[in-house]
Amino acid sequence: MDILKINGGNKLTGEITLHGAKNSALPILSATILVKGVSVLHNCPKLKDVDETLSILEGLGCKVKREGSTVTVDATDVNSSKIDEKAMRSMRSSILFLGSLLSRCKEASIFLPGGCDIGARPIDIHINALKQLGAEITENGSSICCKADELKGTKIVLPFCSVGATENIIISSAISNGTTTIINPAREPEIVDLANFLNSCGADISGAGNSVIEIKGVKRLHSCNNYHSIIPDRILASTYMSACAITGGDIMLNNVKVSTLTPVFPVFSEMGCKLYITDNTLRIKAPARLKKVRSIKTLPYPGFPTDSQSMVVAALSNAKGTSVVKENIFENRFRYVNELNRFGTDIEINDRIAIINGVDNLHSANVFATDLRGGAALVIAALKAEGESTISSIEHIDRGYESIENNLALLGADIKRIKNEEGFTEEKFTKAKS
């Protein structure tokens, strides 16, 4: 396992180009098996989660090829409807194969998904929705079997606008008999991207991004028209914005979908950052010291994204004054704060509320990443902290960031990835500290 060594204190300056959105790539890749032919995806990030998804596709019989950021999936010969336990446990989004396999093979057999430990993350909304579409589902504690000779369109009212459940419904009902209407779907930009991909393959989906989605089932899909380009990663953008903000930097981000970032712009403006926006670039210029913000509440899109919460908390830890952040989506999403406080930050957690008393200085620390975005928050703190910090368990970070160290180094950070030759494991690390 690698670790990151960061010598903090450098202001970030310069420009980088953002990669495509992980959370778009994963559902779109799982939807490629609906197409008995070739799907070409541009701007597909090279991430651990994407690689795992490509391996799952290969295991199902697809031919997969990557050239740079272009991925080609030939799903002409899908020959299995089962996904093994190891692959399923590696990431939560593998649950999306339930809908795509059901559609393609009329059955799916999968284990319960894993992913970041940020809350209970049940899948009841997915299961109920698929049952309403006519699937027969049996669960045995660790695995799920799903069968349906034909999926039939119906009206599905979601009790909560779950991103994954909305994607599973869209994927499974794209080829179906009749019309499916989703009331209270998730409205995230990645849902729109998935619908655009499927529509370019002949699906008939309207309303994605709004509060009602209508899917008129078609008989089959064809190869996507030329190619589909995955939207830029908005969470990646907010990560580099937070890194720039805490270091008092001035950076330009290229390949940004500005409209997807409107929920985070007011927060950075309130911190005192200046934002210069064009169609697909964003320059952020931070003040020497950030200002506190009154309060942030994470909410489904178009609210402030839960995935940006930890990075923004890290930036606010060094702001002047006290800020309050409430996490409304995942109950366990402040686990990283214990590690963050090792940098000398002063953050108190009260159930789902973080009270961030901004400190004047951060000092170096040796910490481990608890989860993907929590890990990114530690990187941000280390960029500001005086002296050398190490971050271990960075396999979590690699799930969502392509070469984070190279991009930050391009912006002037003193950061290196090195082999963890001491054999530090999270367990040994925790014992050593206690």
Q: Which residues are catalytic?
A: 116
By CB under 6 A, residue 123 contacts ligand UD1: yes
Near ligand UD1 by CB under 6 A, which window of 81-89, 118-126, 224-232, 245-253?
Answer: 118-126
Strand partners, 206: 214
Query: Shortest gap between Cβ of 92 and ligand UD1 (angstroms)?
Result: 5
Binds ligand UD1 by CB under 6 A, chosen from 20, 45, 134, 164: 164
Q: SS3 letters for 280-349?
A: CEEEEECCCCCECCCEEEECCCCCECHHHHHHHHHHHCCCECEEEEECCCCCCCCCCHHHHHHHCCEEEE
Binds ligand UD1 (CB under 6 A): choice among 28, 165, 340, 382? 165
Q: Which residue has the tokens 């990560």?
A: 239
| Whole-Å CA distances, 354 to 129, 312, 357, 418 | 34, 12, 10, 32
213: which strand partners? 182
Note whether 313 binds ligand UD1 by CB under 6 A. Answer: no
**Pick from 97, 304, 330, 368: which binds ligand UD1 (CB under 6 A)?**
330
DSSP 245-292: HHHT-EEEEES--GGGGTTTHHHHHHTT-EEEE-SSEEEEE--SSPBP
CB of 187 to ligand UD1, least distance (A): 11
Taking the complex as a whole, the smallest distance from the CB of residue 190 to ligand UD1 amounts, in Å, to: 6
Q: Which is nearer to ligand UD1, 180 or 247 (CB)?
A: 180
Closest CB 50 distance from ligand UD1, rounded Å: 11
State which of residues 65, 86, 157, 160 lies at the interface with ligand UD1 (CB under 6 A).
160
Q: Is 94 in the site for ligand UD1 (CB under 6 A)?
A: no
Name which of 305, 229, 188 is nearest 20 in CA terms.
229
Q: Check residue 296 for interaction with ligand UD1 (CB under 6 A).
A: no
Structure tokens belonging to residue 28: 């779109």
Which of 415, 416, 412 has its CA nearest to residue 10? 412
Is residue 432 involved in binding ligand UD1 (CB under 6 A)? no
Scanning residues 23 to 42, which ones bind ligand UD1 (CB under 6 A)? 23, 26
**Footprint on this chain of ligand UD1 (rule: CB under 6 A):** 23, 26, 92-93, 119-126, 160, 162-165, 186, 190, 306-307, 329-330
